Chain A
Amino acid sequence: MRASEALPMATSEPRGSLKGSLPLGERAIEALLMGCALLTILTTAGILGVLAIETFHFLREVSLAQLLFDSEWTPLFADKHFGIWPLLSGTLLTSLVAIGVALPFGLLAAIFLSELANDRARRTLKPALELLAGIPTIVYGYFALVVITPALQNLIPGLSGFNALSPGIVMGIMIIPMIASLSEDALYAVPNSLREGAYALGASKLPTIFRIVLPSAASGIAAAVILAVSRAIGETMVVAIAAGQQPRLTLDPRVPIQTMTTYIVQVSMGDTPTGTLEYRTIFVVGTLLFLITFLMNVGSYRLARRFRRDT
């Protein structure tokens, strides 16, 4: 008996060929998944589209010059003014107060965590700081109106019930973790050889931190700050609750003002019929808000990238 007859055949049919393209099911699934991913592009397109269309309709009735050169914002009154500066100044004022609080605290926290703290301190304090960012903004708004404003009114006699100072401070507390965390990353990225070089010259810790490490991390920290300001500019509920609804071109933090975001909330909650000029104003303000935050985000990203490249 020959060997080939002794061995039983595994199958009596020929095996499948190696040729053939991807089965239809696989292709369909891949297309479906790609569609999910493309939805994010649709989102951006949707945002841009909605903002552009309504702003376009708005600009057919109200000129760009009115937006730029009028100093009052009263689209809901009988005597309509469409100058955007009061809303811009309200946003600017609250954001400046916020950064005024968040920057020193956030930067000191970053320096502490990166250069001074031991491992155990870092492990407990970092998550604790992140807690500040986890509280919903509506809760911060409550704090600003119900707790902080009355407390500040004892200290500052002229402070009105709605003002820019109280929500600004509260927003500042809210964004401290953002500045602390991103700045700490920037400090961490500074090569240790620079610190060693300073120590070897007989420098102690403080001069090394302030004159070598911080300047080397400067652009990374700047990127963090820009991002935090962008966050403050886009914040809605804290200012909606505590800052007031009076558009006013001022830099006085003790009086009621209105921010871009608060205005959008005010109109949305009212009875403005859709399709009218007043309705369109919220999209115009939204466009401005989007442009400002977009530019700042891009600027921050570019700065961060340059920092990473140089380090």
Chain B
Amino acid sequence: MSLARQNKRQGERIFWLVSLFAIALPLVILGWLLVDVLSDAVQRLSWQFITSYPSRKPENAGILPALVGSIYLIGLTASIALPIGVGAAIFLEEYGRHSRLAGVIEVNIANLAGVPSIIYGLLGLGVFVRALGMGRSLIAGAATMALLVLPMIIMVTREALRTVPMSLREACYGLGSTRWQSIWQVVLPSAFPGILTGAILAISRAIGETAPLVVVGALTYVTFVPDGIDAPFTVLPIQIFNWVSRPQHGFVVNSAAAITVLVCTMLVLNGIAIYLRNRLQQRKAT
């Protein structure tokens, strides 16, 4: 029986091409769509667009209240979610490990991560808007979004805490420090780059969230910039939602431009996160 090669494994080659195509096709479609958005948006993007208020005429409409609303909302969300999330992560990693309570909380967090975001909106509506009487305000939206991003913040903070070697903690204990002292002065600073990166990534995802805010009552036609945390508000994704639903082509162009602003903001945030992580890790290494 000869050992010479037969039919050069054609089947394998074809399959290789097919599966490469399977990865490439969605990416190509995504590229096509992004180019489409950009080509529509380019004509509308301008300083005027960013600084104007919505209007019944698409040429005059702008994203100022939505943009400002997004920024306020994200800032408020972060200031609520970060301390709580980092605190919870510290508890789970440093204090409560292997206890039954920690186990239950962990399972719970894993569950929460899989709950559809619109359910958080219903939660916010029932608890923050109505039961706690916050009304359809910035603070109600921020509280809702904080609960939404909390599981992710906890997970990335725990990851960051885990990268701190046990020997550092032991060194602190050996010198007679208490647990909190060792955490505050050694562990947290050491885990800081990871926590920061994770937080920025979580925030960047939150900027694109729409569904929970629709339910909580972010308005779709807002002609003012929010003037306090109890004020009504809107955010960029909801402005996009509003414009995309209108029949006039001018508004579709507007939504393309707003999408561009949104995606660019997210890219910038992600870029900052990656840059910060590299810089801070370099500094740690020296």
Report A's interface with B, CB cutoff 8 A. 22-23, 25-26, 29-30, 32-41, 43-44, 46-47, 49-51, 53-54, 104-105, 108-109, 111-113, 116, 125, 128-129, 131-132, 134-139, 141-143, 145-147, 173, 176, 180, 204-206, 227, 230, 233-237, 240-241, 261, 264-265, 268-269, 274, 282-283, 286, 289-290, 293-294, 297, 301
B215 CB within 8 Å of chain A? yes
Considering the complex, give the chain B residue whose CB is closest to the CB of A41. Answer: B108
Considering the complex, give the chain A residue whose CB is closest to the CB of B181. Answer: A26
**In the complex, A282→B36 CA distance in Å?**
35
Give the residues in chain A near B108, CB-CB below 8 Å: 40-41, 44
Contact, CB under 8 Å: B256 / A265: no
**In the complex, A141→B101 CA distance in Å?**
41
Given contacts A50-B122, A274-B130, contact A294 B111 (CB under 8 A): yes
A-B contact pairs, 9 of them (CB 8 A): A23-B178, A26-B180, A50-B125, A54-B126, A135-B263, A136-B263, A147-B36, A234-B115, A269-B214
**In the complex, A146→B241 CA distance in Å?**
12
Report B's interface with A, CB cutoff 8 A. 9, 11-12, 15-16, 18-20, 22-23, 25-27, 29-30, 32-33, 36-37, 83-85, 87-88, 90-92, 95-96, 101-102, 104-105, 108-112, 114-123, 125-127, 130, 147, 150-151, 154, 178-180, 205, 207-211, 214-215, 217, 220, 237, 240-241, 244-245, 252, 255-256, 259, 262-263, 266, 270
**In the complex, A186→B270 CA distance in Å?**
29
Given contacts A40-B151, A129-B27, A147-B36, contact A138 B123 (CB under 8 A): no
Contact, CB under 8 Å: A136 / B96: no
- Please tell me which one of the listed residues A44, A50, A147 contacts residue B127 in the complex, with CB atoms under 8 A apart: A50
Contact, CB under 8 Å: B118 / A131: no
Contact, CB under 8 Å: B121 / A33: no
**In the complex, A261→B209 CA distance in Å?**
14
Given contacts A41-B108, A146-B252, A236-B210, contact A293 B237 (CB under 8 A): no
Given contacts A50-B127, A51-B122, contact A40 B26 (CB under 8 A): no
Given contacts A112-B22, A240-B241, contact A138 B208 (CB under 8 A): yes
Considering the complex, give the chain B residue whose CB is closest to the CB of A227. Answer: B114
Contact, CB under 8 Å: B262 / A237: no
Contact, CB under 8 Å: A282 / B122: yes
**In the complex, A186→B80 CA distance in Å?**
37
Considering the complex, give the chain B residue whose CB is closest to the CB of A242. Answer: B244
Given contacts A109-B19, A139-B262, A241-B244, contact A33 B91 (CB under 8 A): yes
Contact, CB under 8 Å: A268 / B217: yes
Contact, CB under 8 Å: A108 / B19: yes
Contact, CB under 8 Å: B180 / A29: yes
Q: B108 → chain A, closest Cβ, in Å?
A: 6
Q: B118 → chain A, closest Cβ, in Å?
A: 5
Give the residues in chain B near A135, CB-CB below 8 Å: 30, 263
**In the complex, A40→B91 CA distance in Å?**
12
Given contacts A143-B33, A289-B118, contact A37 B214 (CB under 8 A): no
**In the complex, A205→B122 CA distance in Å?**
50
Give the residues in chain B near A290, CB-CB below 8 Å: 115-116, 119
**In the complex, A142→B252 CA distance in Å?**
9
Considering the complex, give the chain A residue whose CB is closest to the CB of B113. Answer: A297
Interface centre among B18, B83, B115, B209 (most CB of A within 10 A): B115
Q: A103 → chain B, closest Cβ, in Å?
A: 11
Contact, CB under 8 Å: A141 / B244: yes
**In the complex, A205→B215 CA distance in Å?**
51
Contact, CB under 8 Å: A43 / B147: yes
Contact, CB under 8 Å: A32 / B87: yes
Contact, CB under 8 Å: A36 / B88: yes
**In the complex, A123→B164 CA distance in Å?**
26
**In the complex, A211→B18 CA distance in Å?**
18
Contact, CB under 8 Å: A268 / B244: no
Give the residues in chain B near A236, CB-CB below 8 Å: 116-118, 210-211
